């Protein structure tokens, strides 16, 4: 009987758990069995590993091979265990010395010819391997740049199983091999990734001011207006005026991207992400889920950036209501019978809607064909509890010549708006430096109403009256205060004034029912 050992890593959400690969090679009916609560993709590793070993010059002896993935109670998915399984078998057969894989984590999917394919999730797996104490991580050549973004661990890119075995100490001849690589990023992809400029927006000064306010405080935004008013145009330019992501946020966003797509990651991008799911998206597509493999949804891919829901009333009401918990907590917890995954969901929500199904209600010189009941039913698809969590509600009218569209009209560029946003966030960060919050939108209402931040009664009179009359909920009251503080930060004021509170109340109630 011979035993072999190697180590890999299982991802549950973005959390990595070390997995020990144990191989028992003994006399018996020739064959290979895989145990340890594997899914179908991992169960098929038997044939991939068998073919990869044969095409790497290693013929399996007539022995019974039992491959155990421990801890056995942990569900394991995907094909990233292939390399570790194959190397553990080589250790059991004596081809690779056991000391050659000590302190190493092996990740990668095997092709039938023995080469290593690009594998998703390498960045979060490498981070988890480093945190688990690994000294070396072996990854496919195509993923070596991505894995090298992690500091504090040695990353080795190997093109094939043969080269991985040689690196681990096997005395077998090397053979030239053409590594499998990812498709390079095209010029069109790079051009698409460039942020759009706010200066392209014409004739919408109120909407631009509301957008800058939302960016400065991290507030959620609801835009109501007819088709062609520029709602989508405004939403697409919000990431361009947001501050760059912090190193922690950017690494988290890169991990999510690594987990959800096979892309060539060669640097940590600090540009805030922008997600715009189609209105046919399901709840699992929006917040994440899956039967066996738990995958992040749009709210996680947008974490640190913007989640834009165009034609928001067209989304299924159950999908929209799934957003309520992430908006409050900034995370998504997905529970399954065999696993639990937690994903980040700290995004800015921007919703856009037409005033009615035909889009012409309230538009001058346009005729609306929708009966009153249809109009009410259309906007009623956006539930009160969801809208109550949105800080800024704004009606957007179509831009016209009388409203100032001309070549020489003053425009606000994204660079100018970003400077104002960064200055306002710096002021808020200084005020909140002793707390866990960094933007006004995150601040707890009780803190804003506490003794050292409480505003004079003369300043809060408009919202006090709205609360007494039932026009504002307590959550709405606190959200108006948050926006007022953001407006004060944009104006360079130490405290919000009555004007700031009035403007914040208008931004809260600016959508006509």
Cis peptide leading into residue 387 (ω within 30°): no
Residue 438 lies in a domain: no
- Are 46 and 90 part of one and the same domain? yes
Which residues are bridge partners to 65 per DSSP?
25, 32
Q: What is residue 103's predicted lDDT score, i.e. its pLDDT?
A: 92
**Number of neighbouring beta carbons within 10 Å of residue 33:** 12
- Are 360 and 405 part of one and the same domain? yes
Give Cα separations from 292 to 63, 100, 110, 338 (angstroms): 32, 33, 22, 9
Q: What is residue 187's predicted lDDT score, i.e. its pLDDT?
A: 47
Are the C-beta atoms of residues 361 and 321 closer than 8 Å to each other? no
Mean pLDDT by 10 residues, the chain (513 residues): 88 90 86 84 87 88 89 86 94 90 94 93 94 94 92 94 92 84 60 73 89 96 92 94 93 91 81 94 91 85 95 94 92 82 93 91 82 90 90 84 56 92 96 91 90 88 89 88 96 94 89 47
- Are 208 and 331 part of one and the same domain? yes
The widest CA-to-CA distance across the chain, in whole angstroms, is 89
Q: Which helix (H) or strand (E) covers residue 106, if one does? A: strand 104-106
The residue assigned the tokens 């890169």 is 254
Q: Which domain holds residue 509?
A: 443-513
- Are 215 and 297 part of one and the same domain? yes
Tokens of 418: 């970003």
- CA proximity to 334, closest of 320, 348, 345: 345
Residue 500 lies in a domain: yes
Helix (H, G, I), strand (E, B) or coil at 502: helix
Phi, psi torsion values for 244, nearest 5 degrees: -60, 150
- For the whole prediction, is pTM greater than 0.85? yes
Are the C-beta atoms of residues 253 and 273 closer than 8 Å to each other? yes
> Residue 403's domain is classified under what CATH number?
3.40.50.300
The residue assigned the tokens 């199983």 is 161
The residue assigned the tokens 């009941």 is 373
Residue 474 lies in a domain: yes
Residue 185 lies in a domain: no
- Are 358 and 246 part of one and the same domain? yes
- Are 270 and 384 part of one and the same domain? yes
The total number of structural domains in the chain stands at 3
Sheet with 31-35, edge to edge strand ranges: 2-12, 15-26, 64-70, 31-35
Residue 152 lies in a domain: yes
- Are 360 and 495 part of one and the same domain? no
- Are 359 and 315 part of one and the same domain? yes
Distance CA 43, CA 39 (A): 6
- Are 474 and 407 part of one and the same domain? no
- Are 125 and 79 part of one and the same domain? yes
**Number of neighbouring beta carbons within 10 Å of residue 273:** 21
Residue 8 lies in a domain: yes
- Are 158 and 200 part of one and the same domain? no
Residue 425 lies in a domain: no
Are the C-beta atoms of residues 130 and 18 closer than 8 Å to each other? no
Residues comprising the chain, all counted: 513
- Are 74 and 126 part of one and the same domain? yes
Query: How many alpha carbons fall within 13 Å on the CB side of residue 258?
Result: 30
> Residue 57's domain is classified under what CATH number?
3.30.230.10
Residue 281 lies in a domain: yes
Q: What is residue 409's predicted lDDT score, i.e. its pLDDT?
A: 65
Q: What is residue 39's predicted lDDT score, i.e. its pLDDT?
A: 80
């Amino acid at each position: 009987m011979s035993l072999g050992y190697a180590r890999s890593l299982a991802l549950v959400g973005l959390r990595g758990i070390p997995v020990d690969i144990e191989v028992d090679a003994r006399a018996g009916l020739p064959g290979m069995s895989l145990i340890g609560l594997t899914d179908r993709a991992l169960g098929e590793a038997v044939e991939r590993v068998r073919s990869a070993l044969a095409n790497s010059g290693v013929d399996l002896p007539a022995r019974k091979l039992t491959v155990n993935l421990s801890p056995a109670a942990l569900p394991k998915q995907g094909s990233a265990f292939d390399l570790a399984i194959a190397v553990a078998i080589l250790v059991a057969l004596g081809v690779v010395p056991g000391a050659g894989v000590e302190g190493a984590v092996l990740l990668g999917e095997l092709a039938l010819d023995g080469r290593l394919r690009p594998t998703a999730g390498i960045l979060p797996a490498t981070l988890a391997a480093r945190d688990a104490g690994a000294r070396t991580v072996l990854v496919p050549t195509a993923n070596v740049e991505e894995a090298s973004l992690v500091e504090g661990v040695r990353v080795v890119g190997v093109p094939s199983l043969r080269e991985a075995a040689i690196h681990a100490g096997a005395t077998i001849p090397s053979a030239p091999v053409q590594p499998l690589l990812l498709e390079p990023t095209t010029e069109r992809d790079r051009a698409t990734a460039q942020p759009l400029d706010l200066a392209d927006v014409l004739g919408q000064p109120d909407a631009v001011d509301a957008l800058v306010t939302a960016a400065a405080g991290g507030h959620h935004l609801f835009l109501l207006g007819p088709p062609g008013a520029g709602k989508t145009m405004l939403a697409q330019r919000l990431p361009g005026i947001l501050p760059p992501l912090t190193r922690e946020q950017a690494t988290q966003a890169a991990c999510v991207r690594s987990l959800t797509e096979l892309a060539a990651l060669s640097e940590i991008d600090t540009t805030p992400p922008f997600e715009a799911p189609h209105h046919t998206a399901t709840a699992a597509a929006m917040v994440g889920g899956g039967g066996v493999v738990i995958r992040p949804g749009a709210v996680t891919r947008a974490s640190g950036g913007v989640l834009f829901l165009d034609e928001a009333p067209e989304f299924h009401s159950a999908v929209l209501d799934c957003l309520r918990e992430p908006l409050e907590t900034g995370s998504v917890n997905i529970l399954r019978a065999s696993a639990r995954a937690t994903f980040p969901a700290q995004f800015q929500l921007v919703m856009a809607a037409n005033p009615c199904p035909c889009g012409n209600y309230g538009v001058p010189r346009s005729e609306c064909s929708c009966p009153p009941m249809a109009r009410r039913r259309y906007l009623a698809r956006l539930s009160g509890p969801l809208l109550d969590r949105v800080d800024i509600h704004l009606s957007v009218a179509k831009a016209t010549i009388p409203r100032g569209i001309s070549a020489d009209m003053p425009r606000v560029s994204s660079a100018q708006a970003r400077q104002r946003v960064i200055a306002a966030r710096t002021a808020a960060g200084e005020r909140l430096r002793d707390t866990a919050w960094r933007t006004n939108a995150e601040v707890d209402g009780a803190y804003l109403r506490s003794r050292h931040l409480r505003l004079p009664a003369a300043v809060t009179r408009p919202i006090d009256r709205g609360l007494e009359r039932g026009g504002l909920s307590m959550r709405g009251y606190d959200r108006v205060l948050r926006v007022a503080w953001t407006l004060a930060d944009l104006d360079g004021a130490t405290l919000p004034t009555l004007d700031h509170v009035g403007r914040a109340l208008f931004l809260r109630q600016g959508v006509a029912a």
